[in-house]
Copies of this chain bind each other. A is one copy, B any other.
Amino acid sequence: MPVADIARLADHVGQLVAIKGWVHHLRSSGKVRFMVVRDGTGLVQGVLVKGQLPEADFAAFDRLTIESSLTLKGKVRAEARAPGGYELEVTRVEPLNLAQDYPISPKEHGVAFLMDHRHLWLRSPRQQAILRVRDEVCRACRDFFHDRGFILVDTPILTPTACEGTTSLFETDYLDRGKAYLSQSGQLYLEAAAMALGRVYCFGPTFRAEKSKTRRHLTEFWMVEAEAAFYTLEDVMELAEGLVSYVVSQVLARHRRELETLERDLAPLEAVVPPFPRISYGEAIARLQEMGNDMAWGEDFGGDEETVISQAFDRPVMVHRYPRSCKAFYMEADPEAPELALCVDMLAPEGYGEIIGGSQRVADLETLLARLEEHHLPREPLEWYLDLRRFGSVPHSGFGLGIERLVAWLCGLKHVREAIPFPRLLDRLYP
């Protein structure tokens, strides 16, 4: 008898199959017993009719508890009213492990309780749906870059120095060689790799020992970052827009069922097609001021400002050319307005804030040296980075995309903590 994935029952209609999984729901009605089983690929209802299976197997139903593991055997039947479209006429029930009293019930639980039980909470249909969307997002990002000739270059996590200053860094003793810091971005290393391979990307965990407690922050989160030689700010804006619209289209095409489970309104996602609106920082400030926000030119936006700016658009908006004074040392100045950086932030709609930050990088050695001084950054640990300007420097640009914020937006989550399997937060390192 074949062991079937529940997601593949369509291939087995009329056949006897075995399903290996866990009890999701139990219900009795007269001489009939109903059991919804999950196996990680889907849910199916098994129907037990007294007399149609061994007496002992029918009796076994009464001992079963939620999340007990078992093998269920039976004949697959198409059933339009059933969740998933198929039912099982059960012929054998083989319990494996009877679960103790399962702590998570369909009733409401507090967030702290659910987070303490994250290892079990993942089993809920909603969390499974998020994990599947996340899997697709990661895959779509990789496919997008691969199809455009970008080579994956894994950048180091343990680094001898900080990319954007030393605040909010996790540090560790590196054997007998002093301190190492957990990377906040692979960008500087990607720049080196772009000079070797032209177009490159990295995809890995990044870390911020930030004491802020917001619904958009994790201390450990995943980023995909791209860097390309000879790319300008214009090129990366086009690339970023292409990436985000491709990921959204893939999730819409392949994960309707998950988005349904999440009760996600699809209309805002279906609107996400290029071109995305582009406004300058100056325009954004003017809009904010018009709406009564007293933010002055030169300040960076907070979450509230991002929400207000993005609300004016039905798709992600790209805000470009921020003042250099509020951005990182490595950003190229706009030749037409040197107080501005050739940079872009992409803000997601529906209040999800910044999902992408990118820029053209300083190409000239002397300019970069001056920037290090301005930003009080030590030169010696960055000598290798300066080398990139000594040996065949070229204009180049790149961006980073935060995976959890993207997943949170696509799934319509209130907090990024549900967008990663085992979140790490200010007050959360367990399980």
Contact = CB atoms under 8 A, between A and B. Distances in A.
Contacts of A155: 421-422
Contacts of A198: 5, 21, 39-41
Interface string A98-125: 0110100000000000000111101100
Given A123-B195, A192-B122, A430-B384, A392 B157 contact: no
A220 interface: yes
A184 interface: no
Contacts of A424: 156, 158
B426 A197 contact: no
B151 A131 contact: yes
A303 to B, nearest CB: 21
Given A172-B170, A387-B120, A177 B427 contact: yes
Interface residues of A, number: 94
A1 to B, nearest CB: 14
B157 A135 contact: no
B219 A175 contact: yes
B175 A69 contact: no
A375 to B, nearest CB: 19
A160 to B, nearest CB: 5
A43 to B, nearest CB: 12
Contacts of A69: 392-394
A157 B157 contact: yes
A154 B196 contact: no
Given A117-B387, A156-B421, 10 more contacts: A40-B197, A119-B384, A119-B385, A122-B195, A154-B222, A154-B421, A155-B422, A175-B211, A175-B219, A381-B430
A55 B120 CA distance: 73
Given A151-B135, A424-B156, A392 B23 contact: yes
Nearest to A5: B149
Copy number in the complex reads 2
A5 B118 CA distance: 47
A89 interface: no
Interface stretch (A26-34, A199-207, A294-302, A323-331): A199-207
A378 to B, nearest CB: 13
Interface in A162-220: 170-175, 177, 180, 182, 189, 192-199, 204-205, 207, 209, 211, 219-220
Given A97-B393, A119-B388, A429-B174, A421 B222 contact: no
Contacts of A134: 152, 154
A196 B387 contact: no
Interface stretch (A138-146, A265-273, A340-348): A138-146
Contact of A139 (B142, B205, B422): B142
A355 interface: no
A23 B182 CA distance: 35
